[in-house]
Amino acid sequence: MKLSIGIVGLPNVGKSTLFNALLKKQVANVANYPFCTIEPNVGIIEVPDERLPVLAKIVNTTKLVPAVIEFYDIAGLVRGASKGEGLGNKFLSHIREVEAIVHVVRLFEDGNVVHVSDKINPEDDMKTIETELILADLETVNKFKEPKKGTAATKDAFETFETVQKIKIQLDKGVTIRQQNLTEEELTALKPLNLLTVKPVIYVFNISEDQLQNADLTKKQIETIFNNLKLFSTNYNYLFLCAKMESEIVAFTPEEQTEYLKQFGLEESGLNRLIKKAYEALGLISFLTAGTMEARAWTIKKGWLAPQAAGTIHTDFEKKFIKADIVKYGDFVKCGGWVKAREQGLVQITGKDYVMKDGEVVEFKVGA
């Protein structure tokens, strides 16, 4: 399953600093991913998972394969991008390819780093990008013509047209598609259009180390921004970090990072928090496999059934699925592996209608 996140924002807000920090983190584990950078602006980043080393020790393997996400460092957006200003068309074509957006917003003050508008105004910056994405979506939906009755047009095409008319009214009022109350059927109908404002967004506020020291004040400032913009704010859709600091501490050992972060009251780096949040934003979970060959995390959508999960290992496994042996991660660790977990009756034998849960250790049984 290909998972991609686009890092967007105005020029000089810290996008590339953040992206480079993510890449440096990955380079430390380059053995598993020899082609870490696909293109100059695309990197494959591991999803941090503290469970894998534990499983590897139990099953006596040295090979760990975490889940991964592709991060795209997308060219800085400027006002008028929807009309081709700056690298507008290139920016918009790249962002159409990703499943979710990380919107980097500058909160830090630094006279040596020029702001594109000559002033730090996060609300205005956020509105600029959102407006350009809305305008781009409006251009797309305005081009979508009503299918002619009596032609070969499918039922899906008519459903898409009806949904387009509905979202267009709100887009004209400046309301993004993700803020509109659409049904799953309507969202499915819009998929062929690859619209921009339907994608989930994580706001990353790039702050200074001083602002990181004053976390409570920084949180209040961010909440005020969300309130002023009438955006719904939760811990799920934003975080703040110091991209400059993150790019420096990737060179530290894990122990040194832990000690350094303690002074800011943080338990883990901003990079790890961002990667995990991006994974959640896509509605993803991981199931685990553990054997002598490898300990591995496999990515699936929340709500997937056991046969679908098996299909991520090999497409034939979904068709030939018989059953799945499943044990909770905590029970697997407590028992020290499959044998004792089975002896203690902690392994659940499941069928085709079983809904997978995050962190389960699984063995699939498939037919020949």
> 14 a known binding residue?
yes
Q: Can you give the pLDDT at residue 37?
A: 42
Q: Which residues is 323 bridged to in the sheet?
A: 365
Least confident of 27-36, 88-97, 188-197, 273-282: 27-36
Stated pTM of the model? 0.82
Does pLDDT of 86 surpass 50? no
Residue located via tokens 């407590």:
334
CATH code 3.10.20.30 region(s) in the chain: 302-364
Q: What phi-psi label fits residue 362: left (phi over 0), alpha (psi between -120 and 50 degrees) or beta?
A: beta
Single out the residue of 71, 133, 138 nearest to residue 98, CA to CA: 71
Judge whether 12 is annotated as a binding position. yes
Q: What is the pLDDT of residue 70?
A: 87
Distance CA(173)–CA(168), nearest Å, equals 9
For the cut 80, the answer to whether the pLDDT of residue 338 exceeds it is yes
Residue 272, annotated as binding a ligand:
no
Rounded distance between C-alpha atoms, residue 364 and residue 326, angstroms: 9
**pLDDT at 27 (0 to 100):** 45
- The residue whose two tokens read 């969202």 is 187
CATH of domain 2-279: 3.40.50.300
What percentage of the chain reaches a pLDDT higher than 90?
49
Q: Which comes out higher in pLDDT, residue 37 or 136?
A: 136
Q: Which single residue is written with the structure tokens 């003050």? A: 109
Q: Give the CATH class of 302-364.
A: alpha beta
Tell me which residue has tokens 């941090």: 48
Q: Nearest CA to 270 among 335, 205, 175?
A: 205
pLDDT confidence of 275, banded at 50, 70, 90?
Answer: confident
Amino acid occupying residue 235: N
- Name which of 23-32, 332-341, 344-353, 354-363 the model is least confident about: 23-32
> What pLDDT shows up at residue 1?
64
User: Among residues 238, 270, 271, which one has the least CA distance to residue 102?
Assistant: 238
pLDDT of residue 34 exceeding 60: no
- Radius of gyration, alpha carbons of the chain: 23
Residue 76: what pLDDT? 59
**DSSP codes, 178-240:** GGS---HHHHHHHGGG--STTS-EEEEEE--HHHHHTHHHHHHHHHHHHHHTT----TTSEEE
pLDDT over 70 at 25, yes or no: no
Residue 90's pLDDT is what? Answer: 56
Residue 218 pLDDT > 90, yes or no? yes
pLDDT tens digits, residue range 164-202?
Answer: 999 999 999 999 999 898 999 999 999 989 899 999 999
Q: What is the pLDDT of residue 59?
A: 95
Angle at CA 204, nearest 5°, toward 297 and 30? Answer: 40
Query: Does 17 belong to an annotated binding site?
Result: yes
Lowest-confidence segment of 108-122, 154-168, 259-273, 329-343 by average pLDDT:
108-122
CA distances 267 to 171, 208, 258, 304, Å, are 40, 18, 7, 31
Taken in order 267, 286, 5, 191, the sign of the CA dihedral is negative
Evaluate whether 295 touches 56 at the Cβ level (below 8 Å): yes
Instruction: Report whether 317 contacts 311 (CB < 8 A).
Output: yes
Alpha helices (H) along the chain:
15-27, 51-59, 88-95, 122-143, 155-172, 184-190, 209-213, 215-228, 243-249, 254-262, 270-281, 306-313, 315-319, 329-335, 338-343
> Cα(51)–Cα(333) distance, rounded to whole angstroms?
9
Q: What pLDDT digit, counting tens, does each position of 122-167 carry?
A: 999 899 888 888 988 998 999 988 887 765 567 788 888 899 999 9
Closest CA to 20 of 201, 225, 271: 271
Backbone angles phi, psi at 10, to 5 degrees: -70, 165
Mean pLDDT, residues 246-256: 88
Please tell me whether residue 177 adopts helix, strand or coil conformation: helix
The structure tokens listed for 232 are 């719904």
**What is the rounded distance in angstroms from the CA atom of residue 104 to the CA atom of residue 50?**
27
Query: Residue 225: is its pLDDT beyond 60?
Result: yes
In this predicted structure, the answer to whether residue 319 has a pLDDT above a threshold of 50 is yes
d(CA 27, CA 22): 9
In angstroms, how far is CA 362 from the centroid of its own chain? Answer: 24
Start-end ranges of CATH 3.40.50.300 in the chain? 2-279
